[in-house]
């Protein structure tokens, strides 16, 4: 059975509003997604009835919150099919997760002359933490390039993986090109050389099922707010054996076992990596969003988005003077484009007045823009609550923009 999109849209209060007296057409989901009513209700209910700091209290509310927080961890574990909930660390978001690994893994395993391999299509948050690590340790950042379609140049991989490579950090799906990378192949080749692989799933998890055991990745991470959960929360998955070996990256309450002035021993997994009062409201809100996705049907969402991709590509390709950046065969519903001789910010401003929210700029992937020699693109990023009619209205809006600005 297909999805009932109209019914689904009713679950998202923010989509019901008008902007500039026009129905809101929200196509900036790559930046952040909206929250279904159940997530809003969960966050509110916690503030109103249950708020209490987790793990450290034995009173009623604290125990309630603790068990909901740990249940949220189990929900995340099941969502990505991790082997154990000890492998699920709650962080502040995808950025927080990359920084955690870059610091912790970097402290333990990276030294002068080593190499870190990333790709040319990474979000800045999967570039800069590695650059900072390289600076600290005297290591070198190496980059897998992509081709003109926005597909990773896999033929370059074997040369780029050397006996100095300590880790590969790669985006599962690109936030500016829409490419889904052949991550299983990259992992296979890296593992042949015993090199661990971190996958940035910030743009993947909201579009379909992810199975970290099937992928065999060593680290996987994503943000709650891009998968219909609250902001300020995220996930870092790591294989247990690897996490056991890594030092904590932040010190504070909850991550410790014994603290004396002579020295400190650390808590077990996953708490070793969760210093301070965790964002339990965010984690529980995220779990509610994941439950919501299950209730809609993750496979149905994937199938519907494939139709949305086909329709959007066909429509965009039908517009004269529109150039698409990123034409990978295997892709998510993220579309970057430019209109000939029209500044993208001008086009964005006009679309905005029609109630259409797209995003313009580098999308935190400046090297992608440098690859094409452009300063930015207009990006429409869609999820399962977007409709074919909205795509048609976007394309109609583009036509009108071209007419007005030519």
Candidates 33, 66, 75, 95; binder of ligand PLP (CB under 6 A) is: 95
217 interacts with ligand PLP by CB under 6 A: no
Select 92 or 312, whichever has its Cβ closest to ligand PLP. Answer: 92
Taking alpha carbons only, the member of 142, 196, 189 closest to residue 166 is 196
Q: Within positions 53 to 72, which residues make up the interface with ligand PLP, using CB under 6 A?
A: none
Choose the catalytic residue: 38, 364, 374, 388.
364
Select 113 or 145, whichever has its Cβ closest to ligand PLP. Answer: 145
Select 99 or 267, whichever has its Cβ closest to ligand PLP. Answer: 99
Select 128 or 374, whichever has its Cβ closest to ligand PLP. Answer: 128
Tokens standing for residue 229 = 């959960």
Select 65 or 186, whichever has its Cβ closest to ligand PLP. Answer: 186
Candidates 123, 207, 315, 331; binder of ligand PLP (CB under 6 A) is: 123
Q: State in angstroms the smallest separation of the CB of 21 from ligand PLP.
A: 30
202 interacts with ligand PLP by CB under 6 A: yes
93 interacts with ligand PLP by CB under 6 A: yes
Candidates 175, 181, 278, 336; binder of ligand PLP (CB under 6 A) is: 175
381 interacts with ligand PLP by CB under 6 A: no
Q: State in angstroms the smallest separation of the CB of 59 from ligand PLP.
A: 33
Q: State in angstroms the smallest separation of the CB of 229 from ligand PLP.
A: 11
Q: State in angstroms the smallest separation of the CB of 171 from ligand PLP.
A: 5
CB-based contacts of 29, cutoff 8 Å, min separation 6 = 206, 226, 381, 382, 383, 386
Candidates 29, 223, 387, 401; binder of ligand PLP (CB under 6 A) is: 223
94 interacts with ligand PLP by CB under 6 A: yes
Q: Within positions 8 to 37, which residues make up the interface with ligand PLP, using CB under 6 A?
A: none
Question: Could you confirm whether 217 is annotated as catalytic?
Answer: no
Across 261-376, where does the E strand assignment appear? 263-266, 322-325, 334-339, 356-357, 359-361
Distance CA 172, CA 186 (A): 11
Beta carbons within 10 angstroms of residue 170's beta carbon = 23
Select 23 or 182, whichever has its Cβ closest to ligand PLP. Answer: 182
333 interacts with ligand PLP by CB under 6 A: no
Q: State in angstroms the smallest separation of the CB of 130 from ligand PLP.
A: 13
267 interacts with ligand PLP by CB under 6 A: no
Candidates 203, 233, 312, 401; binder of ligand PLP (CB under 6 A) is: 203
Q: State in angstroms the smallest separation of the CB of 31 from ligand PLP.
A: 6
Angle at 244 between CA 241 and CA 245, to 5 degrees: 95
Residues binding ligand PLP: what is the number (CB under 6 A)?
13
Tokens standing for residue 219 = 């680290």
Select 170 or 351, whichever has its Cβ closest to ligand PLP. Answer: 170
Catalytic residue set: 364
Chain contacts with ligand PLP (rule: CB under 6 A) = 93-95, 123, 125-126, 171, 175, 200, 202-203, 223, 364
């Amino acid at each position: 059975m297909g999805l009932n999109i109209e019914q689904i849209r009713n679950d998202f209060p923010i989509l019901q509003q008008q902007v500039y007296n026009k129905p809101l057409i929200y196509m900036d989901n790559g930046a952040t997604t909206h929250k279904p009513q159940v997530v809003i209700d969960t966050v509110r209910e916690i503030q109103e009835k249950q708020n209490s700091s987790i793990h450290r209290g034995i009173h009623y509310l604290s125990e309630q919150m603790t068990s909901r927080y740990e249940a949220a961890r189990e929900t995340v574990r099941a969502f990505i099919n991790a082997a154990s909930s000890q492998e699920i660390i709650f962080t502040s978001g995808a950025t927080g997760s990359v920084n955690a690994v870059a610091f912790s893994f970097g402290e333990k395993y990276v030294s002068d002359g080593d190499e870190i391999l990333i790709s040319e299509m990474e979000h800045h948050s999967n570039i800069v933490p590695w650059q900072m690590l390289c600076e600290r340790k005297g290591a070198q950042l190496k980059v897998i390039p992509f081709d003109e379609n926005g597909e990773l140049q896999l033929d370059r991989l074997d040369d780029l993986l050397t006996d100095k490579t300590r880790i590969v950090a790669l985006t599962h799906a690109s936030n500016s090109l829409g490419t889904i990378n052949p991550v299983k192949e990259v992992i296979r080749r890296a593992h042949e050389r015993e090199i661990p692989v971190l996958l940035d799933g910030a743009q993947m998890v909201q579009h379909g099922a992810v199975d970290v055991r099937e992928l065999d990745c060593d680290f996987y991470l994503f943000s709650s707010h891009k998968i219909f959960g609250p902001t300020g929360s995220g996930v870092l998955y790591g294989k247990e054996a690897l996490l056991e070996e890594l030092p904590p990256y932040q010190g504070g309450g909850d991550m410790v076992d014994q603290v004396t002035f002579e020295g400190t021993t650390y808590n077990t997994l996953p708490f070793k990596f969760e210093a301070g009062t965790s964002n339990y409201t965010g984690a529980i809100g995220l779990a509610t969003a994941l439950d919501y996705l299950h209730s809609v049907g993750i496979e149905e969402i994937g199938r519907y988005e494939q139709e949305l991709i086909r329709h959007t590509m066909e429509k965009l390709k039908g517009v004269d003077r529109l150039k698409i950046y990123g034409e990978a065969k295997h892709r998510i519903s993220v579309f970057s484009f430019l209109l000939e001789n029209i500044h993208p910010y001008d086009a964005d401003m006009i679309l905005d007045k029609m109630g259409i929210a797209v995003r313009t700029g580098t999308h935190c992937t400046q090297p992608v823009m440098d690859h094409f020699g452009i300063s930015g693109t207009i990006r429409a990023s869609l999820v399962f609550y977007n409709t074919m009619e909205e795509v048609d209205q976007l394309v109609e809006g583009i036509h009108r923009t071209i007419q007005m600005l030519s």
